[in-house]
């Protein structure tokens, strides 16, 4: 058997987010003894068990030029494969898989996020990013799609309901969570990880991601300000890529509340070591339209670092409150502060969440488990 997995991105992609998921998926296919080709804008396939085809190697162009290159490359390779697993940002770009389906009828579409809703951004600063995301992810894009594929694979029932609202037949929509490879995300020694980041014995609250409006980083800063008033031995450790329109706002809040010595901001990091060095990972998303099923949450589960996030979209399907993590309402600094303080104070709750989330990862979000579910779909259509 030979399979193709693919992902479009208009510029070179590092192995984070969707790239991490696709890498894990391709690796698990190979581990199952299946010949695998990955089409994605990765720099190289060095030390990977699968073949990598980078459709950007012929030179960088604009988003539309690169999209044509991508579709042309996928169609060509798809003809030689038994099945195609194509990752698409959301239903608005389903015209891509419609074209791939003409080359291979065994096309399975994996959606990463729901549709972007224009008026969902309430409160805070309205930015160009809100508009740009809406333009490429809004429901109008679905009117140009025929929705042709064998199955649509989504990570939550929240997404499934959205597809059903587009009149996609229920029997064509399957819920299979994202997965990442356990090879890459085994727990790392906490003391050693902290030494590598130059950290001492303080409690570490962490955030990893962009400073985009949807990420809710200003809420985290304000919550941390409240935490520091009661806890002198706590630090906020932030790893960011440099992206995000709220960068100036975040740095301004840190200065205004005299948190410079308590907030440590890093650039790109070894994610496994970063999460292992942390006591609590806080992901205070304001809504579900972009970080619908965040990889950093899954990576925290894999390492056993408890997560506090917000009850938006399908996140409540991943986090069972006080069991596999903690959920608060979005844009509620008071609730976020209370949840962080509770997790820092209650050692039994902390240990319970740490153990449960690690087990949840092994049972549900392990890419080897996910691939077996994907292959069952393939076997189903062969009968």
User: DSSP code of 172?
Assistant: G
Task: Provide the residue-wise pLDDT of the chain in tens; the chain has 383 residues.
Answer: 999 999 988 766 665 677 788 889 999 999 999 999 999 887 666 678 999 998 886 556 677 788 899 999 999 999 999 999 999 888 888 999 999 999 999 999 999 877 766 545 554 455 666 666 666 667 777 888 899 999 999 999 988 998 998 899 999 999 999 998 887 777 788 889 999 899 887 899 999 988 888 889 999 999 999 999 999 899 999 998 777 788 899 999 999 999 999 999 998 888 889 999 999 999 999 877 654 678 899 999 999 999 999 998 889 999 999 999 999 999 999 999 999 999 999 999 999 999 999 999 999 999 999 999 999 999 988 76
Q: How many CB atoms lie within 10 A of CB 223?
A: 27
pLDDT at 142: 83
Burial class (CB in 10 A: 0-12, 13-18, 19+), 35: middle
Query: Among 182, 207, 199, which residue's Cα sits nearest to residue 277?
Result: 199
Q: Are 279 and 344 in contact (CB under 8 A)?
A: yes
pLDDT at 135: 65
Distance CA 365, CA 360 (A): 7
In this structure, which topology does domain 190-364 adopt according to CATH? Rossmann fold (3.40.50)
pLDDT at 202: 86
Distance CA 210, CA 228 (A): 23
Q: Which two tokens stand for residue 51?
A: 């073949």
Residue listed under structure tokens 């590092």: 14
Q: How many CB atoms lie within 10 A of CB 247?
A: 15
User: Is the Cα dihedral 200, 203, 208, 210 positive or negative?
Assistant: negative
pLDDT at 139: 78
Q: How many CB atoms lie within 10 A of CB 219?
A: 23
pLDDT at 286: 87
First-residue to last-residue Cα distance in the chain: 16
Q: Are strands 307-310 and 173-175 parallel, antiparallel or unpaired?
A: unpaired
User: Where do the domains of the chain lie?
Assistant: 2-181+366-382, 190-364
Q: Which three-class secondary structure state does DSSP give residue 304?
A: coil
Query: Among 378, 382, 383, 379, which residue's Cα sits nearest to residue 83?
Result: 378
What class, spelled out in words, does domain 2-181+366-382 have in CATH? Answer: alpha beta
Q: Are 326 and 297 in contact (CB under 8 A)?
A: no
pLDDT at 181: 87
Q: Which three-class secondary structure state does DSSP give residue 190?
A: helix
Give yes or no on whether 2-181+366-382 and 190-364 have one common fold.
yes
User: Is the Cα dihedral 293, 295, 296, 299 positive or negative?
Assistant: positive
Q: Are 39 and 53 in contact (CB under 8 A)?
A: yes
pLDDT at 300: 94
């Amino acid at each position: 058997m030979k399979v193709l997995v693919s992902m479009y991105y208009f510029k070179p992609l590092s192995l984070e987010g969707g790239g991490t998921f696709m890498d894990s998926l391709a690796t698990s296919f190979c581990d199952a003894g299946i010949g695998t080709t990955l089409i994605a804008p990765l720099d190289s396939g060095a030390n990977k068990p699968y073949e990598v085809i980078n459709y950007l190697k012929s030179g960088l162009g604009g988003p539309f030029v690169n999209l044509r290159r991508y579709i042309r490359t996928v169609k060509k390779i798809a003809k030689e494969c038994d099945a195609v697993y194509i990752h698409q940002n959301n239903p608005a770009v389903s015209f891509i898989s419609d074209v791939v389906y003409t080359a291979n009828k065994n096309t399975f579409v994996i959606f990463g996020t729901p549709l972007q809703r224009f008026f969902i951004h309430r409160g805070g600063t309205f930015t160009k990013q809100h508009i740009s995301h809406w333009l490429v992810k809004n429901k109008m894009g679905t009117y140009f799609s025929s929705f042709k594929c064998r199955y649509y694979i989504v990570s939550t029932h929240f997404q499934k309901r959205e597809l059903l609202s587009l009149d996609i037949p229920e029997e064509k929509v399957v819920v299979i969570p994202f997965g990442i490879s356990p090879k890459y995300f085994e727990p790392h020694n906490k003391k050693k990880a902290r030494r590598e980041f130059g950290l001492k014995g303080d409690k570490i609250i962490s955030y990893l991601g962009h400073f985009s409006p949807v990420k809710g980083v200003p809420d985290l800063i304000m919550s941390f300000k409240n935490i520091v008033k009661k806890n002198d031995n706590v630090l906020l450790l932030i790893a960011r890529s440099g992206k995000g329109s709220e960068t100036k706002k975040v740095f301004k809040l840190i200065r205004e509340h005299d948190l410079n010595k308590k907030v440590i901001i890093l650039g790109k990091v070894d994610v496994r070591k970063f999460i292992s060095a942390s006591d609590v990972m806080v992901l205070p998303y304001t809504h579900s339209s972009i970080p619908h099923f965040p990889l950093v949450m899954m990576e925290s589960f894999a390492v056993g670092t408890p997560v506090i996030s917000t009850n938006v979209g399908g996140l409540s399907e991943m986090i069972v409150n006080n069991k596999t993590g903690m959920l608060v309402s979005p844009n509620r600094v008071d609730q976020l502060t209370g949840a962080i303080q509770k997790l820092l104070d209650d050692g039994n709750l902390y240990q319970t969440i740490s153990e449960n989330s690690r087990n949840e990862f092994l049972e549900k979000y392990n890419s080897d488990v996910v691939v077996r579910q994907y292959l069952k779909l393939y076997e189903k259509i062969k009968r």
